[in-house]
Amino acid sequence: IPAYREKMYFMCRADAPYPPVVDPRQLSAHNAIFSGYSDGYTNWFKRWFGPTETPFLEVDLNAQVEDFLTSYGSEIWTIVPAAVALKYEQNPLLVYRELTHTPPDRIIYYLLKAGAVPKYVPEFIGLLKEAIADMRGIISML
């Protein structure tokens, strides 16, 4: 069941050479830190950079991405979902930029066993709605 969708954000170092609005054609996949957040994002990446282009790094843990962004050259970039961007923008070394062609939103789902409605589900959904209500780039689907 869809819970919410998140906008995807281009993130880079504050000293990066990228303009306030970035066209994906200005980017090199070889400077990208890639995380396969969704099929939509993976397809977007392949469409703009080709199926054979390899990113600088491919990682699965968001905690690593922030360290890599701040540790390597100023041209390193990544694209992250809104919840991650909100965390990264607390780091004064990192900024987000607008994209002329954004990846599709990432959709987060929750699962329920068919035919069962556990008694805590309505409470969980209420807490989730409250938690994401004011988060920039996150749209509730509950």
pLDDT of 31-84, one tens digit each?
999 999 999 999 999 999 998 889 999 998 777 889 999 999 999 999 999 999
| Residue among 3, 74, 9 nearest 41 (CA) | 9
Q: Give the C-alpha separation, 52 to 33, whole Å.
A: 15
Q: Are 127 and 3 in contact (CB under 8 A)?
A: no
Strands 8-13 and 94-99, how do they pair? antiparallel
- The pLDDT value given to residue 44: 96
**Burial group, residue 10, by CB count within 10 angstroms (0-12, 13-18, 19+):** buried
> What 3-state class would DSSP assign to 82?
helix
Longest dimension (CA), the chain: 54
- The pLDDT value given to residue 43: 95
Global pTM value: 0.87
**Burial group, residue 42, by CB count within 10 angstroms (0-12, 13-18, 19+):** middle
